[in-house]
Structure 1
Amino acid sequence: METEERFEDGMLDVGAGHSIYWRSQGNPRAPAIVILHGGPGGAMNPQWADLLDAQQWRIVLFDQRGCGKSTPFGELRNNGLEDLVGDIEALREHLGIEQWAVFGGSWGTTLALAYAAAHPSRCRGFLLRGVYLARSEDTNWFLWDVRRVYPDVHATFLDAIEKAAGQRPSSARAVLDFSGEPLSRFDATSTVLARAWRDYESTLSRVNHEGQGQESEERTEDESSRAAIAMALLERHFMADELPPPALLPAVPRFAHLPCHIVHGRFDMVCPVDQAKALADAWPRANLSIVDAAGHWTFDPGVASALREAAKRLRADMGSAQAVA
Structure 2
Amino acid sequence: MPHYASYDAAELAYRVLGPRTGEGAARPPLLCLAGGPGRDAAYLGDLGGLDTHRTLVLPDSRGTGDSPPAADPIGYAFPRLAEDVEALRRHLGLERFALLAHDAAAATAQAYAAAHPERLTHLILVCPGARMQGELPQDAREIFESRADEPWWPDAYDAVQTLPDTTDLGEVRRLLLRAAPMAYGRWEEPQRAHAASEGEQLGPVPRAGFWQGVDEAARRAVLARLREVPCPVLVVTGNRDAVTGMRAGELVAESFPNGRVRPLPGVGHYPWVDEPDLFRSVVEEFLTGA
Equivalent residue, structure 1, for 2:175: 196
In 2, Cα distance between equivalents of 1:28 and 1:307: 20
Equivalent residue, structure 2, for 1:185: none
- Pairing partner for 1:91 from 85, 88, 93: 88
Flag the 1:191–1:207 CA change in 2: closer, same or farther, 3 A: same
Shift of 1:227: 1.6
Equivalent residue, structure 2, for 1:323: none
Equivalent residue, structure 1, for 2:226: 252
Equivalent residue, structure 2, for 1:294: 267
2:268 aligned with 1:268, yes or no? no
2:71 aligned with 1:71, yes or no? no
Q: Amino acid of the residue matched to residue 156 of structure 2?
A: V
Contact 2:185 2:274 in 1 (8 A): no
In 2, Cα distance between equivalents of 1:19 and 1:83: 15
What is the TM-score of this pair, normalised by structure 2?
0.77
SS of match in other structure, 1:134: coil
Contact 2:159 2:176 in 1 (8 A): no
Equivalent residue, structure 2, for 1:238: 210
Contact 1:67 1:74 in 2 (8 A): no
In 2, Cα distance between equivalents of 1:225 and 1:239: 20
Shift of 1:199: 4.5
Shift of 1:126: 1.6
Contact 2:128 2:249 in 1 (8 A): yes
Equivalent residue, structure 2, for 1:52: 50
Alignment length, in residue pairs?
275
In 1, Cα distance between equivalents of 2:188 and 2:178: 14
Flag the 1:116–1:160 CA change in 2: closer, same or farther, 3 A: closer
SS of match in other structure, 2:32: strand
Shift of 1:197: 3.9
In 1, Cα distance between equivalents of 2:46 and 2:79: 24
5+ residue gaps, structure 2: 19-23, 147-152
Contact 2:163 2:175 in 1 (8 A): yes
In 1, Cα distance between equivalents of 2:80 and 2:17: 25
Equivalent residue, structure 1, for 2:106: 109
Q: CA RMSD for the aligned pairs?
A: 3.5
Structure 1, residues 217-256: CA drift from partner, whole Å, max 9, x if none? 997xxxx75324x1x543344357657761454333221x
Flag the 1:71–1:140 CA change in 2: closer, same or farther, 3 A: farther
Structure 1, residues 185-227: CA drift from partner, whole Å, max 9, x if none? xxxx322224424653x333123223488433997xxxx7532
Shift of 1:112: 1.5
Shift of 1:31: 1.3
- Pairing partner for 2:4 from 12, 29, 38: 12
5+ residue gaps, structure 1: 1-8, 165-181, 183-188, 319-325
What is the TM-score of this pair, normalised by structure 1?
0.70
- Pairing partner for 1:156 from 148, 155, 159: 159
In 2, Cα distance between equivalents of 1:151 and 1:243: 37
Matches within 5 A, 1:104-143: 104-135=101-132, 137-138=135-136
Contact 1:66 1:75 in 2 (8 A): no
- Pairing partner for 2:285 from 277, 290, 313: 313
Q: Amino acid of the residue matched to residue 136 of structure 2?
A: D
Flag the 1:279–1:35 CA change in 2: closer, same or farther, 3 A: same
In 2, Cα distance between equivalents of 1:138 and 1:198: 24
Flag the 1:81–1:298 CA change in 2: closer, same or farther, 3 A: same
Structure 1, residues 253-292: CA drift from partner, whole Å, max 9, x if none? 221x312222210232111211222233344433322122
Shift of 1:85: 0.5
